[in-house]
Amino acid sequence: MTDAQHRRPTRRRRPSTAARVGGFLWRWLWIITAGVSVAGVFYGVQLDRVVRGKFEGQRWALPARVYARPLELYASRPLDPEQFQAELDRLNYHQVENAELPSSGTYQRVGDHFLLKTRTFQFWDGQEPARHLDVQLVDGRVARLTDADGGADPALVRLDAMLIASIYPTHNEDRILVRREDLPDLLVNTLIAVEDRNFHNHFGVDPRGILRAAYSNFQAGAVVEGASTLTQQLVKNFYLNADRTFQRKLKEAYMSLLLELRYSKNEILEAYANEIYLGQDGRRAIHGFALASSFFFNKSLNEIGIPETALLIGMVQAPSNLDPRRHPEAATTRRNLVLDLMVRDNVISAKDAAQAKTMPLGIAEGGGRPVGSYPDFISLVRRQLQRDYHDEDLRSEGLNIFTTLDPLVQATVERAVPKQLSALEKSHQMKPETLESAAVVTSVDQGEVLALVGGRKPGYAGFNRALDTVRSIGSLVKPAVYLTALAQPERYTLTSGISDSPVSLADGDKRWEPKNYDRRVNGTVRLADALARSLNLATVNLGLSVGVKKVAETLYQLGIQRKIRIVPSLLLGSVSMSPLEVAQMYQTLAANGYRAPLRAIREVVDAKGQPLNRYPLAIEAVIDPKAAYLTGWAMQGVVKRGTAKWLGEQLPDGMTMAGKTGTTDDMRDSWFAGFSGDKVAVVWLGRDDYKPMGLTGGTGALRVWAEFMLALANEPLSEFPPEGVVIADACGRTKIPYIGSAPRSQNCGSSDNNGDEPIKRRTARRNENGESSPESADADAEPVAESVAAPEPAPPPKPKPKPKPQVEENNTFMSDF
């Protein structure tokens, strides 16, 4: 055996302890690194889902915004110069002395001549462009509407709609969304100069920016430049909270990288501009530059200049401590510092900065809030909205709700109600604030609620009497009685004789015996005169003749929806209604039988500007227009010579109105409902404790009604009757309308009979069923009007009525309401 074969194998040298430990650590380091990497990837996937889920979904719960009707300008439109200026002021237009208007939302007034630059506004049917207008008013009308830049003159211009309310999310955040392309370059460049100079170059986190900000702040001896990027600030505000922990900062950085990876710089800038918190208005949090501009300056974002821009950007650092209303000195210092930074980065010139530093902060009062306070009207809006929308949708979907409220009409009514109530209390020796009132004003043709006041303190969100006070309407029901009769032209005309004689009917163990207001009995009176004088006995006899059930059906056709008890006392108003319900009834009368359900909402638009089309105009012919016209004509007699004669004496030349007074037992309720050619108005006046107040419809509610209606621009009632109604010749002077095919001369027995002179009195006798007979007469009666001054042709075809609610038969005489 050789030596090589006998040589023993050498043992492998064992690694040193240090080497063994090092290898162990390296293996675990790789394992840990791999594990952390895998965990980081999974964590990143989760964060990415969060980033994309919120950024691509509904980013914010947006409040619903409620707007008044836009003021429309067109040639010949009635418009008082003072009212026009008040409207511009409510819209936060700024009056300037120079004819060179600096921006949209400004105007100059010289006498009745206005120059203005309107704002762009997105309506439900498209965008209204900004315009430079020359408006000349003459004698309370638009005499000239021209393009001040020399372009084509517009036929009609809508000003931007006035914000009157917001329905906020539960967390009370408010913001006005703005797109990136609508952000002013001055604002964007200033934001980048102050908060993130390397914004366009980094990927969400900027280490060099952190070092640069630290150096700048050290040199200035104050915090002049932010260390976080705009992306990090957005992540903190949009996704996270303000906790100062390492874990939160790490998460912020990671999400910032993901955000930059997924979305463009413009998308990030847009989200930042809408998310940033800039102050507090009570419980409402002000978010975004657009709302902040409105809140602090009463200007839209594209209307602010250099000093306002510097202030807004400066407030990003510490909104509470730099609030210009509470800390004007600190806000001014910060603004001036931002101006210097704008010069440093060539955003503005040194000259512009020096001039801006001399400017005041320019903070406006009440900015960004709804203009005025209309809780009563908004209550009606919310009730109509809640038929179609959940409350959460109203608080979070960013709906834009365009209503029918006319601020000019609303302001006039709000002044009139407390003024006249105080005057009535003083003249009738009542304690102050004894009386309460409610008023509703609508348009005739479309049934739009133009104004609504629920009490003597219009801005107070208390009990809404216009909607919720349900009181007996008294004589306001009478036009329905006469309408029912006039719908039977073969039996009744405006000159038919009606018996104003005593009525006594069994009411259980008692007798129901109504009386006229003056306790007198007038025998036979002409139908039109009975309504003008509001004669109870004549109305009851007429109602019994046509049938109480027929009268109830007429009320349903006029728009009344509550159950009506079929009792004789209904003929004198033993039905209770709210002022809004009465307004519906009288709207149908004023529109010659065309009922338009009263509405407070024109359109609802979603957050993307798409109309939802939930509130179309719905007009329905429910009453024969000929009979409705005759009833309206008779109601003009109430104003000319009847219980509202005082109103007729106040009307200007050429103005005609119709109406009806209403007074309930013991003068607990005072009503007046009436209409011009374009407006219907209803006023209730009374006491909340139901005690008598000593005021009739003519001495109470009528005074409030006249106070605002005479101050408004009204169209007179139409002089042209509907087809099928002609004017009786009657010696060429009566001009009393009737349903027929051609006018005919009648023997009027007088050379100058205008329809008011008494001729011969007749009394009616009652048939065995207790119904009055208009054909019967008493030879010994006193002279009053002839029963016929117009021919009585065959009845025209009647319109098909809409299916009506079932009426309730009842043998008692007093209503349950």
Q: Which residues lie closer than 8 Å to 25 by C-beta, 6 or more apart?
A: none
Q: Which residues of the chain have pLDDT under 50?
A: 730-732, 744-817
- 267 is a catalytic site residue: no
Domain 172-357 matching CATH 3.40.50.720: the answer reads no
What is the spatial distance between Cα 12 and Cα 14, in angstroms, rounded to a whole number? 6
What is the spatial distance between Cα 717 and Cα 710, in angstroms, rounded to a whole number? 14
Helices 478-486, 548-558: inter-axial angle, 10-degree rounding: 100
User: In the prediction, which pLDDT does 167 show?
Assistant: 81
Q: Which residues pair with 500 in a beta bridge?
A: 523
Containing 605, the helix (H) or strand (E) segment is strand 601-605
In the numeric block, which tokens belong to residue 152?
Answer: 């084509």
Closest by CA position to 617, among listed 603, 627, 630, 606: 603
Containing 88, the helix (H) or strand (E) segment is helix 81-90
Closest by CA position to 475, among listed 517, 504, 506, 445: 517
User: In the prediction, which pLDDT does 106 show?
Assistant: 92
- Main-chain dihedrals φ then ψ at residue 204, nearest 5 degrees: 110, -40
638 and 659 Cβ atoms separated by less than 8 Å: yes
User: 216-242: per-residue pLDDT in tens?
Assistant: 666 766 655 556 889 988 888 888 876
pTM given for the model: 0.79
Containing 94, the helix (H) or strand (E) segment is strand 94-95
User: In the prediction, which pLDDT does 766 show?
Assistant: 37
Q: Which residues pair with 127 in a beta bridge?
A: 122
User: 546-568: per-residue pLDDT in tens?
Assistant: 999 999 999 999 999 999 999 99
Please report the sign of the dihedral spanned by the C-alpha atoms of residue 391, residue 397, residue 402, residue 408: positive
What is the spatial distance between Cα 448 and Cα 791, in angstroms, rounded to a whole number? 38
User: In the prediction, which pLDDT does 608 show?
Assistant: 79
Residue whose token pair is 């990671």: 254
Residue whose token pair is 């791999």: 34
Helix ranges, 591-745 (H): 625-640, 645-650, 701-709, 730-733
Look at phi and psi of residue 559 and say left if phi exceeds 0, alpha if psi is from -120 to 50, else beta: left
Containing 270, the helix (H) or strand (E) segment is helix 265-275
What is the spatial distance between Cα 190 and Cα 305, in angstroms, rounded to a whole number? 12
What is the spatial distance between Cα 731 and Cα 192, in angstroms, rounded to a whole number? 87
Catalytic residue from among 300, 379, 475, 574: 475
> How is the chain split into domains, by residue range?
70-160, 172-357, 374-471+575-619+647-715
User: In the prediction, which pLDDT does 399 show?
Assistant: 87
The CA-atom distances, in angstroms, between 415 and each of 162, 370, 427, 459, 537 are 20, 19, 19, 11, 38
User: In the prediction, which pLDDT does 808 show?
Assistant: 41
Helix ranges, 559-644 (H): 579-590, 625-640
Q: Which residues lie closer than 8 Å to 145 by C-beta, 6 or more apart?
A: 73, 74, 75, 133, 134, 135, 136, 153, 154, 157
- 448 is a catalytic site residue: no
441 and 681 Cβ atoms separated by less than 8 Å: yes
Q: Which residues lie closer than 8 Å to 204 by C-beta, 6 or more apart?
A: 229, 231, 232, 253, 256, 257, 258, 259, 260, 261
The beta strand positions in 667-723, using DSSP E, are: 669-675, 679-686
What is the spatial distance between Cα 431 and Cα 744, in angstroms, rounded to a whole number? 58
User: In the prediction, which pLDDT does 311 show?
Assistant: 96
Closest by CA position to 593, among listed 483, 677, 695: 483
DSSP characters for 530-543?
HHHTT-HHHHHHHH
Q: Which residues pair with 95 in a beta bridge?
A: 107
User: In the prediction, which pLDDT does 10 show?
Assistant: 54
Containing 280, the helix (H) or strand (E) segment is strand 277-281
Q: Which residues pair with 594 in a beta bridge?
A: 621
- The upper half-sphere exposure of residue 569, i.e. CA atoms within 13 Å in the direction of its Cβ, equals 23
Cβ–Cβ contacts within 10 Å for residue 429, how many? 7
Fold of 70-160: Penicillin-binding protein 1b fold (3.30.2060)
Q: Which residues pair with 422 in a beta bridge?
A: none
What is the spatial distance between Cα 51 and Cα 407, in angstroms, rounded to a whole number? 44
621 and 627 Cβ atoms separated by less than 8 Å: no
By CB atoms closer than 10 A (0-12, 13-18, 19+), residue 118 is: buried
Q: Which residues pair with 448 in a beta bridge?
A: 599
The one-character DSSP state at 756 is -
CA-atom Rg of the chain in angstroms: 38
What is the spatial distance between Cα 448 and Cα 126, in angstroms, rounded to a whole number? 21
Catalytic residue from among 195, 308, 553, 786: 195
- Distance from chain centroid for Cα 366: 19
CATH architecture of 374-471+575-619+647-715: 3-Layer(aba) Sandwich (3.40)
